[in-house]
């Protein structure tokens, strides 16, 4: 009886439009959540392309510097002063600044006689950066005097130069990254008329920092116990710019006669543009979702207004608020249930599409489709339906009370 009275003002075209609007909104919402959960490991991966680009800055070495350093053994090298670093940190285009820590003591590396690298010897140097700037996924990047070995990170370019240059020309075996990490070698530290031997191991290869990295704790300890200076003077610094494409950054570097790798600046610009584009896409998705739910609320309000007289008449005939609102509750529940089931179809196909591309980049997601995406979405829809039903009852109550 109630449904027969109320359905007269319900237009099928309006319901179909609302159905497609809800389906679109839910599809965008679930695909967005799914995409975020699937790509989250990329954001957390230190070796990921999705990280702040490092701009490594050093002072230019002029021919006059070389001449004076040859003539005067104690001539000061072109280091960064504390005032210069503080001035950089104050610049509006700078997000963060980190210093390289240098060793002020002598280092050499050698291999044991029973090692596959027997006979290997070379003079060496170490540098260090703050731990959060290390871009290799190695959990135990630290060193204490009780540590079994010194973890060392080499530039990826060193491995490539050996494999595709030196090894080929000398007919030597090429080495994989995992194979290099198996090799152990000895580190000899000299300074202040003292000598100490350590064991070292390569734990990874950096694509962002072209130097031989050791933990900062080791470099600081070595400078204190073997070095000429307890506190190292930075010859290079790392800048993370808020906007790598900023003309102010380029002008600042030129005006202060600093030197940077131009390719690093280009990579930073490309990454900044990529982040802007993805931010725009996410913003558009959120706007569409908000508009969809606004459309749903507006459609329900219009439907109730069309049935204004019928609702009043039914109430005068003795039907309670609960009985009058029941058909609307059922309609909203069926509408959302059908939309939810329909939205699983685009979720399935779109997730398979981008997931296959993530695999090509070397990332495998551990996100469970049901427990991490479908179930939370179902709970979200249940809450939305409850809120809409509450709004329905409140609106019907107001219509009845006015008349």
Per-residue model confidence as pLDDT tens digits over 257-268: 888 766 556 655
Picking from 213, 235, 260, the residue at the C-terminal end of a domain is: 260
CA distance 99 to 93: 18
Select from 184, 194, 399 the least CA-distant residue to 307. 399
Q: Would strands 150-155 and 121-124 be described as parallel, antiparallel, or unpaired?
A: unpaired
CA distance 37 to 34: 5
Identify whether residues 110 and 221 lie together within a single domain.
yes
User: Contact 91/255 with Cβ under 8 angstroms?
Assistant: no
Predicted local distance difference test score (pLDDT) of residue 213: 92
**Ranked by mean pLDDT, which of 9-13, 91-95, 274-278 comes out on top?**
91-95
Q: Would strands 121-124 and 106-110 be described as parallel, antiparallel, or unpaired?
A: antiparallel
Select from 383, 384, 388, 365 the least CA-distant residue to 33. 365
Which of the pair, 155 or 1, is modelled with greater confidence?
Answer: 155
- The yes-or-no verdict on residue 50 having pLDDT over 60 is no
Domain-located, residue 265? no
Q: Count of domains in the chain?
A: 2
Q: What mean pLDDT is reported for the chain?
A: 78
- The yes-or-no verdict on residue 187 having pLDDT over 70 is yes
Picking from 211, 238, 260, the residue at the C-terminal end of a domain is: 260
Q: What is the pTM of this model?
A: 0.60
Identify whether residues 169 and 228 lie together within a single domain.
yes
Domain-located, residue 285? yes
Domain-located, residue 266? no
Predicted local distance difference test score (pLDDT) of residue 215: 92
Which of the pair, 133 or 273, is modelled with greater confidence?
Answer: 133
Q: How confident is the model at residue 299 (pLDDT cuts 50, 70, 90)?
A: confident
Look up the domain containing 87 and give its range. Answer: 55-260
Q: Phi/psi at 158 (nearest 5 deg)?
A: -65, -45
Residues 6+ positions from 155 with CB-CB distance below 8 Å: 205, 206, 207, 209, 210, 211, 212
Domain-located, residue 155? yes
Q: How confident is the model at residue 272 (pLDDT cuts 50, 70, 90)?
A: low
In order, the DSSP letters of 347-362 are HHHHHHHHHHHHHHTT
Identify whether residues 62 and 33 lie together within a single domain.
no
Identify whether residues 236 and 382 lie together within a single domain.
no
Identify whether residues 183 and 223 lie together within a single domain.
yes
- The yes-or-no verdict on residue 48 having pLDDT over 60 is no
Picking from 210, 234, 260, the residue at the C-terminal end of a domain is: 260
């Amino acid at each position: 009886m109630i449904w027969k009275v109320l359905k007269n003002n319900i237009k099928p075209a309006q319901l179909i439009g609302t159905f497609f609007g809800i389906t679109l909104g839910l599809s965008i919402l679930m695909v967005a959540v799914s995409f975020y959960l699937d790509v989250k490991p990329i954001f957390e991966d230190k070796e990921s392309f999705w990280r702040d680009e490092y701009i490594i800055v050093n002072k230019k070495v002029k021919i006059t510097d070389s001449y004076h350093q040859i003539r005067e053994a104690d001539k000061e090298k072109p280091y960064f002063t504390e005032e210069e670093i503080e001035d950089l940190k104050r610049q509006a285009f700078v997000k963060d600044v980190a210093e390289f820590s240098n060793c002020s003591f002598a280092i050499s590396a050698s291999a044991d006689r029973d090692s596959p690298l027997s006979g290997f010897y070379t003079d060496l140097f170490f540098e260090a950066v703050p731990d959060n700037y290390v871009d290799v996924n190695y959990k135990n990047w630290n060193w204490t005097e009780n540590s079994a070995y010194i973890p060392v990170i080499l530039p990826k370019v060193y491995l490539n130069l050996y494999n595709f240059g030196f090894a080929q020309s000398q007919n030597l075996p090429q080495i994989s990254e995992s194979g290099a990490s198996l090799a152990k070698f000895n580190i000899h530290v000299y300074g202040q008329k003292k000598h100490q031997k350590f064991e070292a191991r390569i734990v990874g290869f950096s694509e962002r920092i072209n130097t031989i990295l050791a933990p900062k704790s080791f470099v600081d300890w070595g400078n204190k116990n073997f070095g000429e200076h307890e506190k190292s003077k930075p010859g290079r610094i790392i800048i993370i710019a808020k906007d790598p494409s900023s003309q102010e950054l380029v002008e600042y570097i030129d005006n202060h006669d600093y030197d940077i790798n131009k390719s690093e600046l280009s990579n930073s610009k490309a990454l900044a543009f990529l982040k802007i584009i993805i931010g725009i896409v996410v913003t558009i998705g959120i706007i569409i979702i908000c508009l969809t739910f606004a459309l749903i609320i507006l459609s329900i309000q219009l439907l109730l207004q069309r049935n204004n007289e019928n609702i009043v008449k039914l109430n005068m005939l003795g039907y309670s608020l609960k009985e009058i609102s029941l058909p609307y509750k059922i309609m909203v529940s069926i509408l959302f249930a059908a939309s939810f089931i329909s939205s699983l179809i685009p979720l399935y196909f779109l997730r398979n599409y981008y997931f296959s591309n993530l695999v090509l980049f070397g990332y495998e997601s551990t996100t469970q489709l049901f427990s991490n995406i479908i179930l939370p979405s179902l709970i979200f829809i249940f809450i939305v339906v409850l809120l809409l039903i509450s709004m329905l009852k409140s609106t019907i109550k107001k219509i009845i009370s006015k008349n």
